[in-house]
Structure 1
């Protein structure tokens, strides 16, 4: 055939093409099976991974919404945020309170003596390590000061070893030199820092600040706190003290009160519900993307990796059942009564603003009871997805593990197939090469015989 490659010199037959055809005939069915299975397992594993990520995000959002005040509609405000700020949790109640701050809590702060050599001044000039002991509230923190250690090295050692324990070391430098400044995150009376040991850093140390409690009053009731973060003084309200209250004009004793207010805010309540809808829709959108059937321009259809997948149907059903179930202790027990509707084609949720506004005027309190508590929407949805989301034994995790094992097995099958085809190629090549060699020998013999016969048949010519 014109253009063909002749690999058999003796036979003039393309033995390489014959070998390739025979090997392909043996390999193609199994290779097609491996390729198809690998592609399906890979795309399915990728889709399962996307659903797992979306489900984890959904469950994380449920936890967050369950801890904050998303569905109470309560917001907190301070009349003077330079003096105090506040936040209201889901256990707060509406009300206003007068806050007066007489004193902020502060930590203990110490200063070492001055070192004229600055940060590089050697604080241990001996040949042996010494110890600086820092004590607070009966607990001792021992810092080893190596021979030849500088002020900077002592500072770094304190922060490295005891930074997570609430101790902090800094260096203050001026024209006269440097000094080590020690402080603590622990505040309140009785949390004094003291220095001792063999390092000598305690000699000449002075108290910069003495620890103090925060002194404040709410509606005239005096209180004390070891920190400037007040939790529990008002149910569900966290107050952060920032500055002492200012004196009233023309007064030397009376102070201006900061008004702490917890109130119902329908805008905040709607924002909380919309946040839930967005979280729900994000999960449904992710699931739709992996289960949809796409119609092509020619009218044909293309299925996604998880189209018709029973696990996806079960997960969607579990979530939608909990959403549609009635809950709460109020007159309204369904989000549909607040104008929330479900798309029949996508399963996504939307809210009708007019229906919402009308329902919230009379039944705002029902929202919190629908979402919160052990029987609320958030808890039920979290419970309904537990079996799917468990990190190692969940349905999705198990499927991912199975698919990963299948891919590993397919890789082994591919290696075995490649090895078998290599052996077959070598075997067939050897056989055809032997055949080609034999044909070449026979042709040589034939040529030799014909030459001899021709010589015998041709008469000799006389010169």
Structure 2
């Protein structure tokens, strides 16, 4: 504020008068800006909270929207150190005795010993796996063993083939490994002239440890897995077995003299957990929405009843979101077989909009229709997909909520501009008023001085006249 020496000529408190005038001019617009800013800031925070709650719900739905979350059956191994298993489509309840006598192995081969520091002539190395060609490696003149190793790793990495160098007191050996398992998948290397020391016969044993005069397999040639299911002999080129038991995938982990029991049974506990997780995620979202839209009743100092709405009370977007979710809940699922409605699983909507699980009804429903639960919840026509999809228009990048956030930020930016304009205008108005009142005060001081001078002259004249 401008300063002045108050009322030197008039005795008036100019600062107080100017302050009152500025306040009277500024208050209406300031109140308007403050109210709009508070509303925009509160709404922005609420919209951001809403988007966060919706995103959290969709993440939970994504985690649940997998066949394993709602699989009607589950596979249990009596010894996971020997065998593990998962259930897929088409499985049926049953018990199986599986005994693994040998695991499928992959090829690991090595060259003969190579003297450290050896360089090689220009040529080619042709690698094959079983009867299939892997590729040809070009070797430049004076290439080192490490250079050849790097070339193999670069060119054949997509084939699951890797190379390394093993060194001991006798020398170096190039070792080549494959991730492919099964009989007749041994790696062999044919070498051109000048590179004979790098040739490998993958079906033959390497030379003795002491001399290693030829390249060949390390430990043993490749083999298929051999196992039995309830006494029936089976083989597999991999240790991950699919199709041997309808709808069940299992992995042979270790060979054993003892059979492992694989049990495929109703996944009651897993289904119950997943359904309750779904209900919990939905209820958490509804609670968050309720806190953003609730109306609070109270009593003022005079005893009158008042109500206060939350930031998104009566907000149309929130109503549309809730309606979309509720429509998905009561709608029919197209993949659920005998289960088409959530109520068939003992899940009902309460008066506050949240869901409640009737444990007894759920248990009964799972006993009769466990196989239909997966299709009801998951997949293209499943409940989870439909519910999450109904929110995409709001939560996606540049979706409705992002657009609203942008609009509110624009509003706050405009209000900041209005505040700056108002402050500038009031500063000028204050300076103008202060100048006017100071000028008035100066004029009054001058008039008072003139008045005093005139009165002094008149008094002197009167005194002179009286003396005569």
Which of 26, 36, 41 aligns to 2:39? It is: 36
Alignment of 1:40-439 (within 5 A): 40-61=43-64, 63-64=65-66, 67-68=67-68, 70-72=70-72, 74-111=73-110, 137-140=132-135, 151=146, 166-170=160-164, 172-176=166-170, 179-188=173-182, 189-190=184-185, 192=187, 194=189, 203=198, 206-209=215-218, 210-219=221-230, 222-246=233-257, 258-265=259-266, 268-292=267-291, 293=294, 303-308=309-314, 309-322=318-331, 342-345=349-352, 347-353=354-360, 359=364, 364-369=367-372, 371-373=373-375, 376-378=376-378, 379-385=381-387, 387-390=389-392, 398-435=399-436, 438-439=439-440
Cα 1:337–1:143 change in 2 (3 A) is same
Cα distance change of structure 1 residues 347 and 303 upon mapping to structure 2, 3 Å threshold: same
Task: State the distance in 2 between where 1:443 and 1:394 align.
Answer: 69
User: 1:190 and 1:333 mapped to 2: Cα distance?
Assistant: 49
TM-score w.r.t. length of structure 1: 0.71
- 1:385 aligned counterpart, secondary structure: helix
Is the 8 Å Cα contact of residues 69 and 90 (structure 1) preserved in structure 2?
Answer: no
Contact between 1:7 and 1:13, CA under 8 Å: does it hold in 2? no
Q: TM-score, normalised by structure 2?
A: 0.70
**Structure 1 CA distance for aligned equivalents of residues 123 and 422 of structure 2:** 74
Per-residue deviation, 1:145: 9.4
Quickly say closer, same or farther: Cα 1:408–1:336, change in 2 above 3 A: closer
Range with bigger deviation, 437-446 or 179-188: 437-446
Higher Cα Rg, which structure: 2
Q: Distance in 2 between matches of 1:227 and 1:457?
A: 130
Rounded Cα–Cα distance in structure 2 between residues aligned with 1:290 and 1:51: 9
Give per-residue Cα distances to partners, 1:373-394, cap 9 Å, x unaligned: 4xx354441353254233x677
RMSD: 4.7
In 1, are the aligned partners of 2:166 and 2:175 still within 8 Å (CA)? yes
Uncovered stretches (5+) of structure 1, i.e. residues with no partner: 247-255
Q: Contact conserved, 1:10 with 1:439, CA < 8 A, in 2?
A: no
Can you list the C-alpha shifts for 1:230-285, whole angstroms capped at 9, x where unaligned? 11222111121123343xxxxxxxxx6x35534434xx314313421231232122
* 3-state SS of 1:212 partner: coil
Q: Distance in 1 between matches of 2:36 and 2:252?
A: 70
Deviates more, 1:377-386 or 1:441-450: 441-450
Does 303-312 or 84-93 show the bigger shift?
Answer: 303-312
After superposing the two structures, state which structure 1 stretch, 75-84 or 415-424, moved more.
Answer: 75-84
Q: Are 1:123 and 1:201, in contact at CA under 8 Å, matched by a contact in 2?
A: no
> CA separation in 1, counterparts of 2:137 and 2:114?
22
Q: 2:244 is paired with a residue of what secondary structure?
A: strand
C-alpha contact (below 8 Å) 1:98/1:218 kept by paired residues: yes
